[in-house]
Amino acid sequence: MQRIGILTSGGDSPGMNAAIRAVVRKAIYHGLEVIGIKRGFNGFIEGDMEPMRLGSVADIIHRGGTILHTARSEQFKTPAGRAKAWENVERFGLEGLVVIGGDGSFTGASIFHREYGLPVVGIPGTIDNDISGTDYSIGFDTAVNTAVDAINKIRDTATSHERTFIVEVMGRDTGFIAVAAGLAGGAESILIPEHPFSIEEVCHKLCKGYRRGKLHSIIVVAEGAGSGLEIGKQIKERTGFDTKVTILGHLQRGGTPTAFDRILASQLGARAVELLMQGATSKMVGMSAGKIVETNLDLVLGQKKTVDLDVYRLASILAI
Amino acid sequence: MQRIGILTSGGDSPGMNAAIRAVVRKAIYHGLEVIGIKRGFNGFIEGDMEPMRLGSVADIIHRGGTILHTARSEQFKTPAGRAKAWENVERFGLEGLVVIGGDGSFTGASIFHREYGLPVVGIPGTIDNDISGTDYSIGFDTAVNTAVDAINKIRDTATSHERTFIVEVMGRDTGFIAVAAGLAGGAESILIPEHPFSIEEVCHKLCKGYRRGKLHSIIVVAEGAGSGLEIGKQIKERTGFDTKVTILGHLQRGGTPTAFDRILASQLGARAVELLMQGATSKMVGMSAGKIVETNLDLVLGQKKTVDLDVYRLASILAI
Amino acid sequence: MQRIGILTSGGDSPGMNAAIRAVVRKAIYHGLEVIGIKRGFNGFIEGDMEPMRLGSVADIIHRGGTILHTARSEQFKTPAGRAKAWENVERFGLEGLVVIGGDGSFTGASIFHREYGLPVVGIPGTIDNDISGTDYSIGFDTAVNTAVDAINKIRDTATSHERTFIVEVMGRDTGFIAVAAGLAGGAESILIPEHPFSIEEVCHKLCKGYRRGKLHSIIVVAEGAGSGLEIGKQIKERTGFDTKVTILGHLQRGGTPTAFDRILASQLGARAVELLMQGATSKMVGMSAGKIVETNLDLVLGQKKTVDLDVYRLASILAI
Amino acid sequence: MQRIGILTSGGDSPGMNAAIRAVVRKAIYHGLEVIGIKRGFNGFIEGDMEPMRLGSVADIIHRGGTILHTARSEQFKTPAGRAKAWENVERFGLEGLVVIGGDGSFTGASIFHREYGLPVVGIPGTIDNDISGTDYSIGFDTAVNTAVDAINKIRDTATSHERTFIVEVMGRDTGFIAVAAGLAGGAESILIPEHPFSIEEVCHKLCKGYRRGKLHSIIVVAEGAGSGLEIGKQIKERTGFDTKVTILGHLQRGGTPTAFDRILASQLGARAVELLMQGATSKMVGMSAGKIVETNLDLVLGQKKTVDLDVYRLASILAI
């Protein structure tokens, strides 16, 4: 093996740069060449690719975003698009590909591998943490800390008033960010798609809290569980409480990655290179039970990962 | 003068605790006693008041919120409410009152002074910075930094995509936070109530930017200029651009105060005590042209402060 | 079981408050009473203890330090001191004790258990991460992020100059903080007590880097590996490079705990209560391979935990 | 005027990039061309210069350090060095020069102006804030916030122990950072070069505090007032108190600039371009009494700026 490609795809997440750095430096350390592919599969199709050197990844470990840029590619979903990408594989002499992204990106990589045989290794990079085969995806820890930081700030003002605060966090169809941020932030309620809830119940809990002397309540809402603004409106209608809503949105995707995300990204990136060198054909690297592990890409794509409801319940017990 | 009262009123802002600390310690330094009044004018009416000592304000200088809690009081707007407050003035032997808050709080304080003659000194504490007689109110610098931090994070992800991002910030009827955060954050557009704008214009600028190669645009919207969600919807309808919205909401009110806000709060708090000792009857302390100054409360209340449009234009020039 | 005690002991670490909150609320949830013991074993000996309620731990989850205060107790090392503590166990009717701290604290707790039979459960709380039986101790993740944040800032100025920067971090006799912060911060060299090094080697690497065009180098020094100032002096003498030293010191012990530390603290605190309720007599809770586990206190105390040298080598490879 | 040069020189400070961005964009807005000069006067001498466009300064407003790099130049102190720089002025067709830096940089710029007549405008950029003609230099507010953040963290752990903490901050021969950070951080003592102190006095105050029940003390030491380690040793010898030292060092020079520094940098940068266009020959822009002002460079260099001792005394009163 002499030359590998690397791209970031789908929604970006903090720590992707640390993963790129690890792949590039680990590969160069072992004598490989690395071709950086810009804007995800789009750049792969268009041949927007160039060699990366040690210096290409200097001083990026602490930067949010991805220096390779990212995009969602409609064209790569078509055989014609993938055929063009294959031309670039041949043109640049790639013998392996590292794809940093989420489910959608891995699906594309997996199909491409099946069609053309190029060895691919996926690195899970998404703040949503909704990828099987790894306990943590790169960016999740940073996103949770960003959400918790927001809850902290709201808590400051909450203790000065008598109000209900709603914080809408990301997570697509899952409640990973909501549960972790809600537990760590000491939120009174956490609304997630994995656990049914009714507004009546939420209001009942709020009223009980106020009767017991709670001066304020913070409710974390996963975007997959409903709109923060809509839920706020309903609570106000039913309880009359002054309800204030914060929608974090894409700021959860940015920021300097935490130490955890950088270390995870460094380990996964290095392991991805080792796997390609050892002849892996279609794998994802991940962290499971504290260890760096690999899983077949198809297995990753076939499974749905859901929130640990024990942790969800713990958050509820500790917020009494 | 032997004993003064202190309360925080209206919306809270980071740095209020630093101001409380300064008032309490400066007063004790000069041999005065200080009575802390809880929950703004509500606690004043209900007699929810207690003596403060040096230790009462230990380790609070870095805390957001206010240890005295705050509230908006409907009752203090009535003569009956104020009469009850006056009873507490007599019961606790107060000879002066320091009120930390905004316009509404100062209006109440001013009326109370006129009716009962109690000397009052206001300290401007609001993130909105919409108080005349001072260039900066306590909490503004912190709120701006919070908004800028959010813009930074969005910028990380913005450079990885091709999108329009909207950040809705606070400011009530003014654009102070929006202009400062937009300039400091390098936002492409800033929408404020003080400066008319049309969605057509905003979209035109966006399209021009994209044609020139801009990969992303960040638009800061002051809450007084419209709803971020609504403006985002309109931009998407007209341009087709993927538009993502962040609503910061009350998290702008929290957080550890910046050094600037703590120093301002310390200076204003100390000066407020000096003014009461020197026989001031109805003043507000502020910072103007880099100096600590005082203004008659009535003058403060009679004037409207607006954003410096030169700074607004500078932001626009630098974002080309 | 009706009543348990809780104390924090030894050096404090961020997240101890989150652990206290978890113990108190989980215990109350199960109908137990909790007695908070102040200033570690000192308060235990002196009877500086009082009941904790749900409200006692409100709004502390995000606070650094420990609301119970902590201390190192010489007196508890004596039979006389422990006898006095036992009197307080009887006086307050404690049937179990939760000790949050490190090795020294657990040694005291273990001896006390052997002498008097009081069931004890330890929760590992130290930034140094040098406790066996758990992959992470509470506070470690926060301390690493604090050190990484410092490295980030130095990196900013480093890229503008041509210099060698040394950052001395904590860790007692171990290099856990140094390795994690060095890897996550992208440091050029990491000096730890677990891995022998010579100044010649360090200087050789520095010179090689400069010849290859590196504009700056950041060296992380674990306090157990030597004095940052002394190492800086030696490097300057040998290479003539301008060498700047930062000593982080106790600021690594403070700060708002990260989400990771709060979640870990919440899980360990809740599990500690369960263990006492299930009749555990002398255990420590910890996190191993991603799971909450328990270990006999004696086993914890008998083992030495050392840095993963694979991670250390990875840091070195990625910093080429 | 058609073309101007810009360089950053001396120690870097956070916000320099925001100033570069403002100069470049304001100049281009007015139809000027801008040549970026690398590594301060060194690049000026060596002709390490290249044109800057709108895109050259995209996404740098929030970055610490300076994209133009900086250095101290011994060669520019010699007539031969300046003669070479003049050759580059002619080669690149520069009609004006913006120098972002401190006293030393302005001295060089002033001499160069006198010798060769090139119009120069200085922008004060140094964390030390020791430049006359401006109330604030770019980077000072960020450095103070960095120091205050460190004090906050130490305060967390301080409240859990019974100790004396020393934080050594930068400031060269002045106490600007120490006084601002000490006041904002609520430090018990502040040691600065502008105000004589004796160790006896410091220890006396410490002992008095402990007798009155203070659990801890934080002492901020300006580097110009002595070595933090040395002062810590002396305090320990005299009082026996456990004394812990943090040396912030160069991390004060880094970090994302605060909103204040970015706004200041934007305003000063824009004004510098206006001044050159209006025919200024040797000026420095600054902020005085809340306004953007200009001063003759020679006047700036002839004056010494010292700390406001009223603020120093206020810090002392509020820390009782």
Q: What is the ipTM of this complex?
A: 0.96
Residue C154, amino acid? I
CATH number of the domain enclosing D88:
3.40.50.450
In sequence order, the 6+-apart residues with CB closer than 8 A to the CB of A244 are A163, A164, A165, A166, A232, B249, B250
Whether A51 has its CB under 8 Å from any CB of chain B: the answer is no
pLDDT digits (tens, 9 = 90+) for C122-139: 999 999 999 999 999 999
Disruptive mutation site among D61, D149, D169, D208 for chain B (greatest number of B CBs within 10 Å): D61
As a whole-number percent, the residues of chain D with pLDDT over 70 amount to 99
Contact, B126 vs B143, CB < 8 A? no
Q: Which of residues 77-136 of D touch B (CB under 8 A)?
A: 135
Q: Which helix (H) or strand (E) holds C193?
A: none
Looking at the predicted structure, is the pLDDT value of residue D166 above 70?
A: yes
Per the prediction, chain D carries an average pLDDT of: 95
The distance of C59 to chain A (nearest Cα, Å) reads: 8
Sign of CA dihedral B100, B106, B109, B110: positive
Cβ <8 Å between A162 and B71: yes
Q: Which two tokens stand for residue D175?
A: 């106490």
Phi–psi pair at C26, nearest 5 degrees: -65, -40
Tell me whether strands B97-101 and B120-124 are parallel, antiparallel or unpaired: parallel
Chain A residues inside the 8 Å CB shell of C152: 62, 256
Cα B64 to Cα B58: distance, rounded to the nearest angstrom: 14
Question: Is A125 annotated for ligand binding?
Answer: no
Cβ <8 Å between D22 and B59: no
Query: What number of C-beta contacts closer than 8 Å exist between C and D?
Result: 122
Whether B160 has its CB under 8 Å from any CB of chain D: the answer is no
Q: Of B128, B130, B141, B261, which one is the catalytic site residue?
A: B128
Position A162 scores a pLDDT of 66
Q: Is residue B83 part of a domain?
A: yes
Question: Is D172 annotated for ligand binding?
Answer: yes
Question: Is A113 annotated for ligand binding?
Answer: no
Read off the pLDDT band of B304 (50, 70, 90).
confident
Residue, of B22 and A59, whose pLDDT is higher:
B22
Give the residues across from A7 on adjacent strands: A99
Cα B288 to Cα B91: distance, rounded to the nearest angstrom: 37
pLDDT digits (tens, 9 = 90+) for A198-256: 999 999 988 888 887 777 899 999 999 999 999 999 999 999 888 999 999 999 999 99
Q: Which two tokens stand for residue A207?
A: 């009223």
Looking at the predicted structure, is the pLDDT value of residue C13 above 70?
A: yes
Per the prediction, chain C carries an average pLDDT of: 95
Contact, A197 vs A222, CB < 8 A? no
Q: Is residue C274 part of a domain?
A: yes
The distance of D71 to chain C (nearest Cα, Å) reads: 6
Question: Is B195 annotated for ligand binding?
Answer: no
Q: Of A12, A48, A59, A128, which one is the catalytic site residue?
A: A128
pLDDT digits (tens, 9 = 90+) for C172-206: 999 999 999 999 999 999 999 999 999 999 999 88
Q: Which helix (H) or strand (E) holds B297?
A: helix B297-302
Chain D residues inside the 8 Å CB shell of B186: 21, 59, 61-62
Question: What is the mean pLDDT of the segment spanning C213-218?
Answer: 82
Same-domain pairing of B23 and B103: yes
Same-domain pairing of A132 and A64: yes
Looking at the predicted structure, is the pLDDT value of residue C158 above 80?
A: no
pLDDT digits (tens, 9 = 90+) for B94-130: 999 999 999 999 999 999 999 999 999 999 999 999 9
Instruction: Answer with the one of D192, D219, D253 that is the final residue of a domain.
Output: D253
Q: Is residue B71 part of a domain?
A: yes
Same-domain pairing of D15 and D132: yes
Residue A6, amino acid? I
Position C213 scores a pLDDT of 78
Contact, A253 vs A174, CB < 8 A? no
For residue D243, the tally of other CB atoms under 10 A from its CB is 22
b/e sequence B278-292, b meaning 16+ C-beta within 10 Å: eebbbbbbbbeeeeb
Chain B residues inside the 8 Å CB shell of D266: 183-184, 314-315, 318
The distance of D92 to chain B (nearest Cα, Å) reads: 25
Q: Is residue A179 part of a domain?
A: yes
List the domain range (segments joined by +) for residue B216: 143-253
Q: Is residue A312 part of a domain?
A: no
Contact, D102 vs D10, CB < 8 A? yes
Cβ <8 Å between A250 and B71: no
Q: Is residue C313 part of a domain?
A: no
Per the prediction, chain B carries an average pLDDT of: 95
Sign of CA dihedral B309, B310, B315, B318: positive
Position B158 scores a pLDDT of 73
Per the prediction, chain A carries an average pLDDT of: 95
Tell me whether strands A282-288 and A291-296 are parallel, antiparallel or unpaired: antiparallel
Same-domain pairing of C92 and C162: no
Same-domain pairing of D12 and D120: yes
Question: Is D72 annotated for ligand binding?
Answer: yes
Task: List C-alpha distances in Å: C279 to B45, B69, C109.
Answer: 53, 43, 16
In sequence order, the 6+-apart residues with CB closer than 8 A to the CB of D80 are none
Same-domain pairing of C135 and C173: no
Same-domain pairing of A272 and A161: no
Question: What is the DSSP code (8-state) at residue C252?
Answer: G
Q: Which of residues 60-79 of A touch C (CB under 8 A)?
A: 61-62
Question: What is the mean pLDDT of the segment spanning A78-91?
Answer: 98
Looking at the predicted structure, is the pLDDT value of residue A91 above 80?
A: yes
Query: What number of C-beta contacts closer than 8 Å exist between B and D?
Result: 123
As a whole-number percent, the residues of chain D with pLDDT over 90 amount to 90
Cβ <8 Å between C157 and D248: no
Position C162 scores a pLDDT of 65
Question: Is D252 annotated for ligand binding?
Answer: yes
Cα C178 to Cα C220: distance, rounded to the nearest angstrom: 6
Closest CA to A124 of A269, A26, A257, A308: A269
Phi–psi pair at A238, nearest 5 degrees: -80, -35
Chain D residues inside the 8 Å CB shell of C218: none
Looking at the predicted structure, is the pLDDT value of residue D175 above 70?
A: yes
For tokens 């591998």, the residue is A113
pLDDT digits (tens, 9 = 90+) for B144-186: 999 999 999 998 887 766 689 999 999 999 999 999 999 999 9
Q: Is residue D317 part of a domain?
A: no
Read off the pLDDT band of D212 (50, 70, 90).
confident
Disruptive mutation site among A105, A250, A253 for chain B (greatest number of B CBs within 10 Å): A250
Same-domain pairing of A160 and A199: yes
As a whole-number percent, the residues of chain A with pLDDT over 70 amount to 99
Q: Is residue D314 part of a domain?
A: no
Rg (CA), chain C: 22
Question: What is the mean pLDDT of the segment spanning D285-314?
Answer: 95
Same-domain pairing of D178 and D34: no
Chains touching chain B through at least 3 C-beta pairs below 8 angstroms are: A, D
In this predicted structure, which of B172-181, C60-69, C205-214 has the lowest mean pLDDT? C205-214
Contact, B167 vs B154, CB < 8 A? yes
Same-domain pairing of C108 and C159: no
Looking at the predicted structure, is the pLDDT value of residue D159 above 80?
A: no
Same-domain pairing of A134 and A146: no
Position A163 scores a pLDDT of 82
Cα A73 to Cα A79: distance, rounded to the nearest angstrom: 13
Chain D residues inside the 8 Å CB shell of C229: 229
Cα D247 to Cα D223: distance, rounded to the nearest angstrom: 9
Same-domain pairing of A48 and A75: yes
Cα A254 to Cα B156: distance, rounded to the nearest angstrom: 5
Chain A residues inside the 8 Å CB shell of B8: 160
CATH number of the domain enclosing B243:
3.40.50.460
**Structural domains of chain C, count:** 2
Contact, B41 vs B165, CB < 8 A? no
Cα D61 to Cα C194: distance, rounded to the nearest angstrom: 41
pLDDT digits (tens, 9 = 90+) for C279-319: 999 999 999 999 999 999 999 998 989 899 999 999 999 99
DSSP string, B120-174: EEEEEB-TT---TT-S--BTHHHHHHHHHHHHHHHHHHHTTS-EEEEEEE--TT-
Sign of CA dihedral B16, B19, B25, B30: negative
Chain D residues inside the 8 Å CB shell of C245: 247, 249
Catalytic residues of C: 128
Looking at the predicted structure, is the pLDDT value of residue A184 above 80?
A: yes
Cβ <8 Å between B246 and A245: no
The distance of A18 to chain B (nearest Cα, Å) reads: 14
For residue C137, the tally of other CB atoms under 10 A from its CB is 31
